[in-house]
Amino acid sequence: MTKTFGPTDQALRQVTVSCQAGETLTLVGPSGCGKTTLLRCIAGLDHPTGGTIRINGRDMTHADPQRRSTAMVFQNYALYPAKTVAANIEFPLVMGKVPRSERAGRVAGIARLLRLTSHLEKKPAQLSGGQKQRVGIGRALIRQPSVLLMDEPLSNLDAALRVDMRTELHELFQKLGATVVYVTHDQTEALTLGDQVAVLNEGQLQQQATPREVYARPANRFTASFLGAMNLLDGTVQDGYFRTPDGSPIVELRAPKAAATACIGIRPEDLRTADTSAGRPHITLTGRVRLLELLGSEELAHITLASDHKLKARLPVGTVIADTVRLCVDVERLHLFDAEGIRIDT
């Protein structure tokens, strides 16, 4: 799909994403990357400049929003303040001219599912943020849509409630077997809720894969550092070796390339103290500890290497006992990126 607003503003540049029935696809990326535009196009609230939208195999690119069997849950809940919770949830059925006799049963079922039964006669102003969000979800679910579209549904909740609601949503998606497209800028939400994660930046798809795959094998530098922390060390590839700027060869590449700038990526949790290398192929890095931050069960060590590269390492509490530390990382845990930031497989 391509979406252009005016002559210069390309919100989506040939983005292709897909999601199987019963799966959750999370769309993640920084502000302005085009997530909401993509979601609105799927809902039919916006129209793509080019491309095709298929739902259950049918071309819905130009179909009316009502015919798409999608339902949207908005960030700001968009509830009717003067209506009760029951009336808010029921509203799409009233609009759809579903007989009254059937409506009450369906509202009761959704209320049970979302633990709203005791709140059905309240007005939205009498509810907590999490309860309002559940009403918004109930109103979307009551139409039994083929695809549930959610735009940052947890972003108006405080941090603790967000975590609770995330788990609740996860359980709900599993229970319903719903097909969900979920927009978020939160990496944890994207990784925990998605069966598939699509990473967007500046209107372009960076990668779509399972959460495990995007984390373990990020397709480029952007994905590597947007989803989870990643130490990125610039250097060159020469004679088949990646070399840091001080010239030390630190990893051999299977496909030797001419001298080119490149970058090595190491996740902070993949660094261990050198005496725990356990015989696996690894590289060793020695550096000065600038700062040690207690994270609870682990410590985050801020380290400067002799090459002046800065690294962060997540280590068990008490591991760092001197100003200098020798760390190692298994070669299979290294990520390499070329000058354009594209992953190189070693």
20 touches ligand ATP (CB under 6 A): no
Q: Does 8 bind ligand ATP (CB under 6 A)?
A: no
CB of 68 to ligand ATP, least distance (A): 19
Beta bridge partners of 59: 54
Q: Which stretch binds ligand ATP (CB under 6 A): 5-13, 125-133, 211-219, 220-228?
A: 5-13
Closer by beta carbon to ligand ATP, 13 or else 302: 13
Task: Record the tokens describing residue 99, joined without a space.
Answer: 């007989």
Q: Which is nearer to ligand ATP, 20 or 31 (CB)?
A: 31
Q: Which residue in 24, 36, 223, 231 binds ligand ATP (CB under 6 A)?
A: 36
Nearest to 245 by CA among 266, 258, 263: 263
- How many angstroms separate the CA atoms of 24 and 174, rounded? 9
Minimum CB separation of residue 1 from ligand ATP in Å reads: 12
Residue 15 in the binding site for ligand ATP (CB under 6 A): no
Query: What is the Cα–Cα distance from 312 to 303, expressed in whole angstroms?
Result: 6
* Nearer CB in complex with ligand ATP: 45/113: 45
Would you count residue 31 as binding ligand ATP (CB under 6 A)? yes
- Under rule CB under 6 A, residue 37 binds ligand ATP: yes
275, amino acid identity: D
Chain-centre distance for alpha carbon 121? 36
3-state secondary structure (DSSP) of residue 101: helix
- What CA–CA distance (Å, rounded) separates 156 from 150? 13
Q: How far is the CB of 65 from ligand ATP (least distance, A)?
A: 16
Residues 295-324 that bind ligand ATP (CB under 6 A): none
- Least separation in angstroms between residue 244's CB and ligand ATP is 35
Q: Which of 24, 26, 34, 299 binds ligand ATP (CB under 6 A)?
A: 34
Is the distance from CB of 76 to CB of 156 less than 8 angstroms?
yes
Task: Write down the least CB distance from residue 11 to ligand ATP, Å.
Answer: 3
Q: 245: Cβ–Cβ under 8 A, 6 or more apart, which residues?
A: 234, 235, 236, 307, 308
Q: What single DSSP character describes residue 306?
A: T
- CA gap 283, 14 in Å, rounded: 39
- Residue 11 vs 205, nearer CB to ligand ATP: 11
Give, as ranges, the residues between 181 and 200 that touch ligand ATP (CB under 6 A): 185
Q: Which helix (H) or strand (E) holds 136?
A: helix 129-141
Quick one: 5 or 80, whose CB is closer to ligand ATP? Answer: 5
Q: Which amino acid is at 53?
A: I
Give the interface segment with ligand ATP, choosing from 17-25, 33-41, 171-179, 241-249 (CB under 6 A). Answer: 33-41
In the set 33, 141, 157, 197, which binds ligand ATP (CB under 6 A)?
A: 33
Which residue stretch of 25-33, 111-119, 300-308, 323-331 sits at the interface with ligand ATP (rule: CB under 6 A)? 25-33
Query: How many residues lie near ligand ATP (CB under 6 A)?
Result: 12
Alpha carbons 144 and 246: distance in angstroms, whole number: 61
The bridge status of strand 260-266 relative to strand 24-28 is unpaired
Side-chain half-sphere CA neighbours of 125 within 13 A: 3
Q: How many residues in total does the chain contain?
A: 346
Counting contacts by CB under 6 A, is residue 9 touching ligand ATP? yes
Q: Regarding beta strands 343-344 and 335-338, do their DSSP bridges make them parallel or antiparallel, or are they unpaired?
A: antiparallel
Nearer of residues 6 and 57 to ligand ATP, judged by Cβ: 6
Residues that bind ligand ATP (CB under 6 A): 5, 9, 11, 29, 31-37, 185
